Amino acid sequence: MTANSELAILYEHPDWFTPLFSALKRRGVDALPVRPDGDWDPARSSPPARLIFNRMAMSSVVRTDENPIFHAMALLDHWHRSGADVINGAAVMAIDASKARQLSLLAGLGLATPATRVVHRRRDVEPAARSIGFPLVVKANIGGSGAGIVRFDSQDQLRAAVAGQDLPVSVDGVLLVQEFVPARNGLVTRIETLDRDFLYAIEVSGAGSFDLCPADGCRPDGAPISIRAVEADPALIEAAESIAQATGLDVGGIELMIDDRDGSARFFDINALSNFVARPLDVLGWDPHERLVDYLLERMTRTMAC
């Protein structure tokens, strides 16, 4: 393998990773920024670094018509086959890029999830909805930052959307018909993990919005969300760590809500992209990017020793 750097970061969003690059610079780490553009030769292209950190966002599908997700997934797999150590590589990205696969993984771990039916044809949405009941949401299988989620409160409302082709659109053609879970106090809990271990937990509320991304640059419309650090239940931390282990998740966030109907924790999202909480010193009292840089340095040392 020929690599020109020790660490390369593959990313798409222009602003989300400014804190990470700043933290790396403070620690004297020279990271090569790589964008998912241009072309590459599957017979020849060598990795740009010995260690690759994948920071591709599923929500990239709403920022460009030239969807980079599958291109990046193939590229990460190629770099891994060429000898690079890839953090959150193609296998992890494949889970991140499918809410259906996430729910299957969660259920396989014995964790409660919202009742869901997975479809790929518009004509199957209404029968699926009848088995779920209303209210419900229809979700794009590949989304992010709340993209591709629509709530329906009645069969008539859903039928009109199906007839008018006003359903969400997923770039892979797969949709989820899912019960609307009334989250207790309107709160979603996000548990961040690093190297499969608990990092921190926050509670997020967005006044009914499906976009609860808590990081810098997530909400250009200025819509407010409420974020606070919490002491997560040890059982939830254990569950999040088991999810990270089963996913092979090097860095990532697990999202859940407490069902106000019965008090159960319902897990619903696995995020391989963790760009961490905005204003971490105010919210957490410490900056998780420093811990992330520690992890990257450790992986770099391990990679160089191989």
Q: What pLDDT digit, counting tens, does each position of 154-178 carry?
A: 999 999 999 998 999 999 999 999 9
Torsion angle of the four alpha carbons 180, 184, 185, 190, in this order, in degrees rounded to the nearest 10: -90
Burial class (CB in 10 A: 0-12, 13-18, 19+), 66: exposed
pLDDT of residue 218: 54
Q: What b/e sequence results for 115-154 when a residue is b if at least 16 CB atoms lie within 10 Å of its CB, and e otherwise?
A: ebbbbeeeeebbebbeebebebbbbbbbbbbbbbbbebee
- Residue 258's φ and ψ, nearest 5 degrees, are -90, 120
Q: How far apart are CA 292 and CA 288, in angstroms?
A: 6
DSSP E strand boundaries for 6-110 = 7-11, 31-34, 51-55, 85-87
Q: DSSP H helical segments within 248-287, as ranges?
A: 280-283
pLDDT of residue 23: 95
Q: What is the full DSSP assignment across 124-169?
A: GHHHHHHHH-SSEEEEESS--TTTTEEEE-SHHHHHHHHHTT-S--
47-61, 164-178, 240-254 — which one is most confidently predicted on average?
Answer: 240-254
Residue 29 to residues 6, 8, 193, 260, 287, Cα–Cα distance (Å): 9, 11, 22, 46, 17
Please name the fold of domain 7-91+290-305.
Rossmann fold (3.40.50)
262, pLDDT greater than 90:
yes
115, pLDDT greater than 90:
yes
Give the CATH class of 116-179. Answer: alpha beta
Q: How far apart are CA 137 and CA 181, in angstroms?
A: 9
4, pLDDT greater than 80:
no
Q: What is the mean pLDDT of the chain?
A: 91
Residue 305 to residues 50, 75, 88, 205, 302, Cα–Cα distance (Å): 11, 24, 20, 44, 5
More confident residue, 275 or 87: 87
Q: How far apart are CA 111 and CA 240, in angstroms?
A: 10
pLDDT of residue 212: 54
Domain extent listing, the chain? 7-91+290-305, 96-112+183-287, 116-179
pLDDT of residue 215: 55
What is the residue type of 154? S
Q: Binning pLDDT at 50, 70 and 90, where does residue 2 land?
A: very low
- List residues bridging with 53 in a β-sheet: 9, 87
Beta strands at 251-258 and 265-271: parallel, antiparallel or unpaired: antiparallel
Beta strands at 188-194 and 251-258: parallel, antiparallel or unpaired: antiparallel
The least confident of 62-66, 98-102, 134-138 is 62-66
| 132 φψ region: left (φ > 0), alpha (ψ -120 to 50), beta (else) | alpha
Q: What is the pLDDT of residues 285-306, one digit of tens each?
A: 999 999 999 999 999 999 888 7
pLDDT of residue 222: 54
CATH number of 96-112+183-287: 3.30.470.20
Residues 213/85, Cβ–Cβ less than 8 Å: no
Q: Binning pLDDT at 50, 70 and 90, where does residue 213 land?
A: low
Q: What is the pLDDT of residues 67-102, one digit of tens each?
A: 889 999 999 999 999 999 999 999 999 999 999 999
Token duo for residue 293: 């840089």
What is the residue type of 153? D
Give long-range contacts, CB 8 A cutoff, 24+ apart: 38-44.
40/75, 40/78, 42/74, 42/78
